């Protein structure tokens, strides 16, 4: 009996030591960015943004080129932790790159861009897009870097290196990563994203700056507590830029319902409402700023199952918030059927220096 007890104790000690060692490795290698980090602008361009001319910006969460119509995701009620196959990942990358090239927007905001992560079969997506769009500058800000995410145990998420990218036809004088506030409990935080917004400052022909903020807010914070802190940060940030007299466009994946009638949308889905989806709070309003969301085309679908139009919930969480002095000419959601990503891209057309911001929900 004592021998069995000793064996069991030895096994327990070994398992505890292995877990402690693993946790120590993840803690030592934990990505700890500064509050503000200067970001390199690759392949800089020279054209200056002209006021009173139309500028197009497309925001696209590409889902690490792994969350196509065949995929679900373990944190959203599904089971999968990575793309279906290397071949499908390559096909998704090819398709996204072709879309960006053919769309010919002046500026792109991309989210969930992977760089040699296990979940996307170690593909280098940022470099690929920069290469294919050689007439654009590129900036990349890391928001997810973990040595190893051990869940699900049967097929772990694994090592992750991912972030947000901004591509621009125009000159970018500077780019910076701003860490967004809000932390999970310590151990959980080691394996979660370090959310951020990436700022790009573009000179304009009237001597002001067009400030672009590419955002990807938190998704799985219970009750939206962390997201509330992030929205407060963005509200303060927007107020500072407004006082400075610059033009400001904040765009990307807000991970909040963007709707002119959120109560109706919630009633439509009832008990099936996704646990992670928060409604944008009423107090997130900045005088003079306007929203650009195309409510005729949903920008995101749930990942509790592979895509089925009759079963998945599809809502708008991607869009743009623009400052006074930025005219919203149009906003257009691309209905791509979630073929190669769990998001549909959204394109805004703006003009600077022509009118106060005005909200719109479609063309």
Contact assessment for residue 111 and residue 252, using Cβ atoms and an 8 Å cutoff:
yes
- pLDDT at residue 19 greater than cutoff 80: no
**Is 89 found in the same domain as 1?**
no
pLDDT value for 361: 53
**Is 63 found in the same domain as 14?**
no
Is residue 309 situated within a structural domain?
Answer: yes
With 0.85 as the threshold, say if the pTM is over it: yes
Name the residue among 282, 249, 199, 300 with its Cα closest to residue 57: 249
**Is 137 found in the same domain as 63?**
yes
Q: What secondary structure letter does DSSP report for 113? A: E
Contact assessment for residue 198 and residue 139, using Cβ atoms and an 8 Å cutoff:
yes
In the chain, what's the furthest Cα-to-Cα distance? 85
Using only C-alpha atoms, the chain has a radius of gyration, in whole angstroms, of 21
**Is 211 found in the same domain as 329?**
yes
**Is 130 found in the same domain as 1?**
no
**Is 322 found in the same domain as 295?**
yes
- pLDDT at residue 280 greater than cutoff 80: yes
- pLDDT at residue 363 greater than cutoff 50: no
Tally of CB atoms within 10 A around 191: 18
**Is 111 found in the same domain as 23?**
no
**Is 84 found in the same domain as 7?**
no
Convert the pLDDT of each residue in 213-222 to its tens digit: 999 999 999 8
Domain limits at 8?
1-30
- pLDDT at residue 61 greater than cutoff 80: yes
Rounded CA separation 135/200 (Å): 17
Is residue 195 situated within a structural domain?
Answer: yes
Residue-averaged pLDDT of the chain: 94
% of the chain beyond a pLDDT of 70:
97
Contact assessment for residue 233 and residue 226, using Cβ atoms and an 8 Å cutoff:
no
Is residue 190 situated within a structural domain?
Answer: yes
Spatial CB neighbours of 27, under 8 Å, sequence gap ≥ 6: 190
Helix (H) or strand (E) holding 250: strand 247-253
Convert the pLDDT of each residue in 27-46 to its tens digit: 888 899 999 999 999 999 99
- Which two three-digit tokens encode residue 256? 């909040």
**Is 115 found in the same domain as 22?**
no
Contact assessment for residue 244 and residue 250, using Cβ atoms and an 8 Å cutoff:
no
Number of domains the chain contains: 2
pLDDT value for 223: 84
**Is 273 found in the same domain as 242?**
yes
How far CA 148 is from CA of 118, 141, 156, 190, in Å, comes to: 9, 20, 8, 10
Please spell the DSSP secondary structure of 318-348, one letter per residue. EEEEE-TTEEEEEEEE---TTSSSSB--EEE
Q: What secondary structure letter does DSSP report for 215? A: E
Convert the pLDDT of each residue in 220-242 to its tens digit: 998 899 999 999 999 999 999 99
Phi, psi of 340 (to 5 degrees): -120, 5
Is residue 363 situated within a structural domain?
Answer: no
Rounded CA separation 168/209 (Å): 14
Half-sphere exposure of 54 (CA within 13 A, CB side): 10
The bridge status of strand 256-257 relative to strand 247-253 is: unpaired
């Amino acid at each position: 009996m004592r021998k069995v007890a000793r064996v069991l104790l030895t096994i327990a000690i070994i398992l505890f030591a292995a877990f402690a060692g693993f946790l120590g490795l993840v803690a030592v290698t934990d990505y700890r960015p500064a509050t503000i980090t200067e970001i390199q602008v690759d392949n800089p361009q020279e054209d200056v943004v002209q006021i009173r001319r139309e500028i197009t910006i497309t925001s696209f969460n590409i889902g690490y080129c792994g969350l196509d119509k065949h995929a679900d995701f373990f944190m959203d009620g599904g089971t999968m932790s990575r793309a279906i196959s290397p071949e499908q990942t390559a096909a998704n990358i090819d398709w996204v790159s072709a879309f960006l090239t053919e769309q010919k927007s002046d500026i792109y905001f991309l989210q969930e861009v992977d760089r040699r992560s296990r979940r996307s079969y170690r593909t280098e997506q940022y470099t690929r897009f920069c290469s294919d769009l050689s007439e654009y500058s590129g900036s990349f800000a890391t928001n997810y870097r973990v040595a190893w995410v051990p869940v699900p145990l049967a097929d772990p998420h694994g090592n992750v290196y991912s972030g947000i990218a901004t591509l621009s036809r125009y000159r970018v004088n500077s780019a910076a990563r701003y860490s967004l506030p809000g932390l999970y409990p310590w151990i959980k935080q080691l394996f979660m994203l370090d959310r951020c917004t990436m700022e790009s400052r573009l000179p304009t022909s009237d001597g002001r700056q067009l400030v672009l903020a590419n955002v990807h807010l938190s998704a799985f914070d219970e009750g939206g507590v962390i997201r509330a802190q992030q929205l407060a940060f963005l509200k303060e940030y927007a107020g500072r830029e407004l006082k400075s007299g610059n033009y400001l466009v904040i765009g990307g994946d807000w991970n909040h319902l963007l709707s002119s009638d959120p109560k109706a949308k919630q009633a439509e889905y009832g008990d099936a409402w996704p646990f992670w989806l928060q409604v944008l709070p009423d107090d997130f309003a900045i005088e003079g700023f306007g929203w650009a969301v195309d409510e005729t085309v949903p920008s995101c679908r749930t990942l509790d199952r592979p895509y089925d139009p009759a079963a998945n919930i599809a809502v708008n969480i991607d869009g743009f918030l623009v400052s006074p002095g930025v005219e919203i000419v149009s906003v257009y959601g691309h209905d791509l059927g979630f073929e190669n990503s769990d998001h549909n891209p959204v394109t805004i057309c703006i003009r600077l220096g022509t009118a106060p911001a005005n909200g719109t929900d479609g063309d």
